[in-house]
Amino acid sequence: MSTATATLKINGVEVTVPEGNTILEAAKANGIAIPTLCYLEGLTSYGGCRLCLVEIIGSPKLFPACATPVSTGMEVVTNSDRLKDYRKMSIQMLLAERTHICSVCIADDHCELQQLANQLGVDHVTLERNWTALEIDSTHDFLVIDRNRCILCTRCIRVCDEIEGVHTLDLKLRGKDAQLIMDLDERWGNSCSCTSCRKCAKVCPVGAIYIEGEPISHTKRKDVAEFIMGRRKR
Amino acid sequence: MATTGKIRVATIWLSGCSGCHMSFLDQDELLVELAKKIQLVYGPLVDAKAFPENVDVTLVEGAVANEEQLDMLKEARGKTKILISLGDCAVTGNVTALRNAFKDGDKAVLEMAFIDTSEVNPQVPTDVPQLLKKVRPLHEVVNVDFFIPGCPPHADIITYVLTELIAGRTPNMEGRSKYG
């Protein structure tokens, strides 16, 4: 054989994919949808949002499909009731963590968190909300960050580092206190490394980073993954 | 009034903009069909002074923001079989709950509205219901049976939920609910 492959079962269906593929890639290549949020094709997997969790028969643990490589003989389940419940709980925790109010958010109708909540039937949040009042930084000429809408998926950090090659963005603090920062916690307008490339706004799945004066439908056009893959191949 | 066989429906308007009630009216000609099966017994759309006994379905718009609304909601819950959170304010708190993000938000909104922006005789009124410390979605205060998110919820979703309930079925919101 010229290329090594792995044969596994996903939801009882036998599939063969190149060795080294993740479960998510294997599922996608075979038309099996797994919900994702922090994952973005072309960027390093982060495994932070826990929406792509799957079961592997024989293990009591759950595995993030975006960060788990396939192996021959593996039997994966992607859509059990248990997983649905966990996914709904993950969405609820994201909605409860910060101040998410769709009706006044720039990303309303273009928000991946909102879409997932609707798809998964999350019609209310059972947890008490945190109601954060974190700093909104609009010191940059046109890029704005509202940290109250940030879900800490780190897509912006990864695109800034891996594609733009700048690493202006990063996180400070831990857990629920974690916040996106520019340079060494400078105001965005004072950042000397930011190239104002707008990629962070384009990959933001919610309304946390946006471009002032630009229609959100334009910012969030769904060609981002293609764009990133194109950059990768250059 | 002959009411036999009709499902008794009430609506309540707490802290919200009335948009959810507008959406209820936006069911347009379907309201005629609905009227054959339900009787509106209480709410901003009918003239009834007190919340009646033995209500089958109550649709509640708005979040719980003051003492009066808290009492109203508890009374409605006690007299209703099926209580529904209608719209984002009832489901999440929505814009009404934005003050929750600020320390002493209850005092801050009153000062902003009645002192900071008032040019004549600035004072916080004392003869109105006391604001709650935090604005609450309904299910943090009482047991809620169904949730219809949306700002406002689309009329079709209201029709769907009511039709299912009238037919004795349980509405399934998966793929139907829509925040915002």
Any idea what the CATH number is for the domain that residue A70 is in?
3.10.20.740
Of B101, B172, B175, Cβ closest to residue A132: B101
- CATH label of the domain that carries residue A166: 3.30.70.20
Residue A38: left if φ>0, alpha if ψ -120 to 50, beta else—which one?
alpha
Cis-peptide, bond into residue B152, ω within 30° of zero: yes
Of A99, A102, A124, Cβ closest to residue B101: A99
Same domain for A64 and A90: no
Same domain for A215 and A100: yes
B85 and chain A: CB distance < 8 Å anywhere? yes
- Give the whole-angstrom CA distance, residue B31 versus residue B35: 6
Cβ-based contacts under 8 A for chains A and B: 72
Q: What percent of chain A clears pLDDT 70, i.e. is strictly above it?
A: 96
What is the predicted pLDDT for the residue at B180? 77
Same domain for A119 and A69: no
Interface of A with B in 68-97 (CB under 8 A): 95
Chain B contact set for A97 (CB, 8 A): none
Which range marks the domain in which residue A13 is found? 5-79
- Give the whole-angstrom CA distance, residue B124 versus residue B45: 31
Same domain for A107 and A212: yes
Q: Say what the ipTM of the complex is.
A: 0.89
Domain boundary among A79, A96, A130: A79
Distances (CA, A) of B111 to A121, A132, B125, B134: 39, 21, 10, 16
DSSP H or E segment with residue A63 = strand A62-64
Give the neighbor-by-neighbor strand order of the sheet with A53-56: A13-18, A5-10, A75-77, A53-56, A62-64
Same domain for A195 and A92: yes
The C-alpha of B171 sits at a distance from chain A's nearest C-alpha, in angstroms, of: 12
- Please count the other Cβ atoms lying within 10 Å of the Cβ belonging to residue A103: 18
pLDDT tens digits, one per residue of B29-41: 999 999 999 999 9
Same domain for A114 and A95: yes
Same domain for A132 and A23: no
Same domain for A114 and A224: yes
- Beta strands (DSSP E) in chain B are 7-13, 38-42, 55-61, 64-66, 80-86, 131-136, 146-148
The candidate with the shortest Cα–Cα distance to A23, out of A48, A4, A47, is A47
What is the predicted pLDDT for the residue at B2? 45
Contact A118 B177 (CB under 8 A): yes
Contact B177 A122 (CB under 8 A): yes
Q: What are phi and psi of A210, to 5 degrees?
A: -145, 165
**B152-164: average pLDDT:** 94
Same domain for A74 and A91: no
| pLDDT bracket for residue A90 (50, 70, 90) | very high
B104 and chain A: CB distance < 8 Å anywhere? no
DSSP code, position A69: B
DSSP H or E segment with residue B105 = helix B105-111
Same domain for A72 and A183: no
What is the predicted pLDDT for the residue at A228? 74
The C-alpha of A92 sits at a distance from chain B's nearest C-alpha, in angstroms, of: 11
**B157-166: average pLDDT:** 94
Same domain for A131 and A102: yes
Domain boundary among A33, A58, A79: A79
Structure tokens at B177: 């609910």
Domain count, chain A: 2
**A63-91: average pLDDT:** 97
Chain A contact set for B95 (CB, 8 A): 101, 103-104
Domain boundary among A79, A104, A136: A79
Interface of B with A in 118-157 (CB under 8 A): 134, 137, 139-140, 144, 147-149, 151
The burial of B89, by beta-carbon neighbours within 10 Å (0-12 exposed, 13-18 middle, 19 or more buried), is given as buried
Contact A99 B175 (CB under 8 A): no
What is the predicted pLDDT for the residue at B1? 44
Task: Show the domains of chain B with their CATH numbers.
Answer: 7-96+132-166 (3.40.50.700)
CB contact at 8 A, A134 and A98: yes
Chain B contact set for A107 (CB, 8 A): none
- The residue of chain B nearest to residue A131, with distances taken between CA atoms, is B101
DSSP H or E segment with residue A97 = helix A81-97
| pLDDT bracket for residue B176 (50, 70, 90) | confident
What is the predicted pLDDT for the residue at A2? 57
A148 and chain B: CB distance < 8 Å anywhere? yes
Q: What are phi and psi of B36, to 5 degrees?
A: -70, -25
Same domain for A107 and A73: no
- Give the whole-angstrom CA distance, residue A97 versus residue B150: 20
